Amino acid sequence: MALDLSRTSPSDIVQTMRSLPRRFREALAVRDDEDAEQLATRVGSDGRSALDHVAGTGRMLALLNGALAEVVNGRQPVLHAAITDAGARHWEQAAADLEGELGLLVDEADAMAGRVERTSSDQWDEVGRVVGGTELTALDLAKEAVQVAIAGLKATEAAMQEARSS
């Protein structure tokens, strides 16, 4: 279910992006007798592991960050279908190790927060067009990053919970 982000401001987006590292680390935290890598790589009933969710979230944030950079620069780019179509979110490389994928997610969340902070109010209305015709503003892209991040966090939490109970 999509979040209602209609009233989300750029400062809200920055706050969300800045809190992601802590929130994902909390979701991936293990108890004394648990092995983080083993739990995170256990495939759940949805066919994905917590590691897969972390990797997908980090990679999507990278894609969205690149798209936002192109849009705010007034280039009116054609954007990858994965921006709005979850079915188009396929990655050439499998998820690597947990620390590496978490590091990518942290770096991309930080980069997105910085980009949002540097975006001026007149740049938020710049547009890009997703393959297939959907037009998105810079603000739409930043809000999509929040959607992706929160969905990835919830999926990671659920995957870890399922891994513990199996």
CATH code for the domain defined by 10-27+36-165: 1.20.120.450
What are the backbone angles phi and psi of residue 8, rounded to the nearest 5°?
-75, 130
Question: In this prediction, what percent of the chain has a pLDDT beyond 90?
Answer: 78
Backbone angles phi, psi at 78, to 5 degrees: -90, 125
Q: Is 93 a residue whose pLDDT tops 90?
A: no
- Give the pLDDT confidence of 9-39 residue by residue, as tens digits: 999 999 999 999 999 999 999 888 888 889 9
Q: What's the DSSP call for residue 80?
A: P
Look at residue 2 in the predicted model and tell me its pLDDT: 72
Could you tell me the pTM of the whole model? 0.93
Instruction: State the Cα–Cα distance between residues 118 and 121, nearest whole angstrom.
Output: 10
Domain ranges of the chain: 10-27+36-165
Higher pLDDT pick, 146 / 2: 146
Confidence of residue 45 (pLDDT cuts 50, 70, 90): very high
Other Cβ atoms less than 10 A from the Cβ of 130: the count is 21
Q: What pLDDT sits at residue 60?
A: 96
Cβ neighbours, 10 Å, residue 72: 23
- Please check whether residue 161 is in contact with residue 28, taking contact to mean a CB–CB distance below 8 angstroms: no
Residue 32 neighbours by CB under 8 Å, 6+ apart: none
Predicted confidence (pLDDT) at residue 1 exceeds the cutoff of 70: no
